[in-house]
């Protein structure tokens, strides 16, 4: 994570813990916000390939997520969440997308009224 983000969180007295252990971090989460590994952010295709497929939410990963927690994703997904996870009540990404539609409509309505 960028230093300025860490500094901002620290100043706001928000706890932050960085780890390279994706699966090990899951049990302590209230929200798992998953995104695709973005190839365009890597300096080379080889570097991207090292990470592609490493951070995938599988049924096993989801079993480690607390019962009260939710799994979010901005959609569309590109292999980072297995479809078998979709039916779990903690999978909030379809609700997230549906709610996003209404939020965008409200923002457009507000902006057009100005």
- What is the pLDDT tens value at each position of the chain, 114 positions in all? 789 988 998 999 887 888 889 999 999 999 999 999 888 988 999 998 988 888 999 999 999 999 999 999 999 999 999 999 999 999 999 999 999 999 999 999 999 998
Q: Give the C-alpha separation, 22 to 28, whole Å.
A: 11
- Phi, psi for residue 15 in degrees, rounded to 5: -70, 145
- pLDDT at residue 56 in the model: 95
Q: What is the pTM of this model?
A: 0.81
For residue 93, CA distances in Å to 49, 72, 75, 81 come to: 25, 5, 7, 10
**Architecture of domain 22-112 in CATH?**
3-Layer(aba) Sandwich (3.40)
Q: Per residue, what are the HEC states of 11-23?
A: HCCCCCCCCCCHH
- pLDDT at residue 13 in the model: 84
Q: Give the C-alpha separation, 62 to 18, whole Å.
A: 20
- Phi, psi for residue 110 in degrees, rounded to 5: -60, -45
Q: What ranges do the domains of the chain cover?
A: 22-112
């Amino acid at each position: 994570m960028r230093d300025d983000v860490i500094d901002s969180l620290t100043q706001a007295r928000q706890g932050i813990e960085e780890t390279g252990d994706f699966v090990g971090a899951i049990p302590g989460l209230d929200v798992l916000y998953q995104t695709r590994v973005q190839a365009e952010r890597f300096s080379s295709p080889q570097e991207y390939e090292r990470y592609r497929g490493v951070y995938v939410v599988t049924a096993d990963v989801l079993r480690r997520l607390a019962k009260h927690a939710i799994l979010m994703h901005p959609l569309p997904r590109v292999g980072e969440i297995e479809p078998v996870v979709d039916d779990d009540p903690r999978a909030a990404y379809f609700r997230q997308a549906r709610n996003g539609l209404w939020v965008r409509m409200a923002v457009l309505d507000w902006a057009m009224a100005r």
